[in-house]
Amino acid sequence: MTAAAGGTIPRTTEARPTARLPSYDEGMNVQPRMVLLVEDEDAITVPLTEALAREGFRAETAGTLAEGLDIARSRRPDLVLLDVMLPDGSGFDLLRELRGEEHLPVIMLTARGDEADRVLGLELGADDYVVKPFSARELVARIRAVLRRTSAAATPAASGPQQIGDVELDPSARTVTLNGEPLELTRKEFDLLALLMGQAGKVVSRERLIDEVWDVNWFGSTKTLDVHVSGLRKKLGDDSSDPRYLHTVRGVGFRFAGAVEPESS
Ligand code: CA
């Protein structure tokens, strides 16, 4: 889909409602990841907002720099898509502003052929850029790649080993022990366990697990995820009907036991 796919859209400066379509991330206590789109062209924002909702993201739109900065600070999005040419100034100014604060992934939306813009954006610390016109599919793939990179950098790799119950995972050494005995995990099993333990106590959606553990361009059956989860359970000595560690949240995803588990789980 290109920007032209939006058709005739009435111009309005009011906040546009976000399209709501079902996704794995909805329901339960799983928060869909929020993307802030700072862009003043409805022909781009409307179809893109819909595409993001279809892909399981929550999209917020800001038509000006001022509104963008306000939403970035008050709503704490997971990622910002930032246009360069905005009615009240340059997207680069907003990028500079955001870079002075804690790291928030930013993808710049740049005009075709404007290499200077792309270089400047990357120098100012943008995580990636896409060139207009872009397809929603391409952009979503970029968003996922940036989120995966930045969340991998933010996961407790630096904060050392993590222990829950008798399971101890060391992200930097990529080792797992159960009752002090080393567990032989495949690479995907390890990645899956590291992600789930990093979110211990919270539900992680199937979609996010597939996104972050498998490739963005991975179109295989989601059965693969179940096969890996059941492999992990076996190695952890977990019983799927009454798991101690790896809980299935039907229709949503999986949850690794928190450090303190409620009595009835
Ligand atoms: Ca613009």
**Rounded distance from Cα 33 to ligand 1 centre (Å):** 24
| DSSP state, residue 96 | H
**Rounded distance from Cα 90 to ligand 1 centre (Å):** 9
Residues, the chain: 265
Mean pLDDT score of the chain, rounded to an integer?
81
Q: Which of 120, 135, 154 is the last residue of a domain?
A: 154
Cβ neighbours of 240 (radius 10 Å): 12
State whether 110 and 209 are in the same domain: no
User: Does residue 199 belong to any structural domain of this protein?
Assistant: yes
State whether 168 and 128 are in the same domain: no
User: Does residue 228 belong to any structural domain of this protein?
Assistant: yes
Distance CA 165, CA 257 (A): 9
Q: Which of 107, 132, 154 is the last residue of a domain?
A: 154
**Rounded distance from Cα 110 to ligand 1 centre (Å):** 9
Per-chain residues with Cβ under 5 A from ion ligand 1: 40, 83, 85
Among residues of the chain, what percentage have pLDDT more than 70? 78
**Rounded distance from Cα 111 to ligand 1 centre (Å):** 9
**Rounded distance from Cα 3 to ligand 1 centre (Å):** 12
115: enclosing H helix or E strand: helix 115-123
**What is the pTM for the complete model shown?**
0.53
State whether 48 and 83 are in the same domain: yes
Q: Of the candidates 126, 127, 139, 64, which has an alpha carbon nearest to the alpha carbon of residue 95?
A: 126
User: Does residue 230 belong to any structural domain of this protein?
Assistant: yes
User: Does residue 222 belong to any structural domain of this protein?
Assistant: yes
* CATH, residue 197: 1.10.10.10
**Rounded distance from Cα 31 to ligand 1 centre (Å):** 29
State whether 133 and 220 are in the same domain: no
Beta strands at 106-110 and 128-131: parallel, antiparallel or unpaired: parallel
**Rounded distance from Cα 206 to ligand 1 centre (Å):** 35
In the structure encoding, which two tokens stand for residue 245, read together? 């560690």
**Rounded distance from Cα 139 to ligand 1 centre (Å):** 17
State whether 105 and 224 are in the same domain: no
Positive or negative CA dihedral for 67, 72, 76, 78? Answer: positive
State whether 119 and 187 are in the same domain: no
User: Range of 231's domain?
Assistant: 162-256
**Rounded distance from Cα 50 to ligand 1 centre (Å):** 19
**Rounded distance from Cα 15 to ligand 1 centre (Å):** 17
| DSSP state, residue 183 | P
User: Does residue 262 belong to any structural domain of this protein?
Assistant: no
State whether 132 and 188 are in the same domain: no
Confidence band of 122 (pLDDT split at 50, 70, 90): confident
User: Does residue 43 belong to any structural domain of this protein?
Assistant: yes
State whether 97 and 122 are in the same domain: yes
Q: pLDDT for 200-257, tens place per residue? A: 888 888 878 887 787 555 555 667 888 889 999 999 999 888 899 999 988 888 999 9
Residues forming beta bridges with residue 164, ordered by sequence position: 167
* CATH, residue 34: 3.40.50.2300
**Rounded distance from Cα 81 to ligand 1 centre (Å):** 12
- 60 and 18 in contact (C-beta within 8 Å)? yes
At how many degrees (to 10) do helices 136-154 and 42-54 cross? Answer: 60
Average pLDDT over residues 93-103: 82
User: Does residue 261 belong to any structural domain of this protein?
Assistant: no
**Rounded distance from Cα 91 to ligand 1 centre (Å):** 9
**Rounded distance from Cα 45 to ligand 1 centre (Å):** 10
State whether 50 and 174 are in the same domain: no
Distance CA 32, CA 44 (A): 22
**Rounded distance from Cα 85 to ligand 1 centre (Å):** 4
State whether 167 and 125 are in the same domain: no
Which of 67-76, 85-94, 125-134, 151-160 is the least confident region?
151-160
Locus of tokens 């553990």: 213
Q: Which of 122, 154, 186 is the last residue of a domain?
A: 154
Number of domains in the chain: 2
Pairwise pLDDT comparison (83 vs 260), residue with the higher score = 83
Q: pLDDT for 9-61, tens place per residue? A: 444 444 444 444 444 443 344 568 999 999 999 999 999 999 999 988 999 99
Locus of tokens 């970029």: 142
**Rounded distance from Cα 42 to ligand 1 centre (Å):** 10
**Rounded distance from Cα 12 to ligand 1 centre (Å):** 15
**Rounded distance from Cα 141 to ligand 1 centre (Å):** 22
State whether 119 and 168 are in the same domain: no
User: Does residue 1 belong to any structural domain of this protein?
Assistant: no
State whether 62 and 170 are in the same domain: no
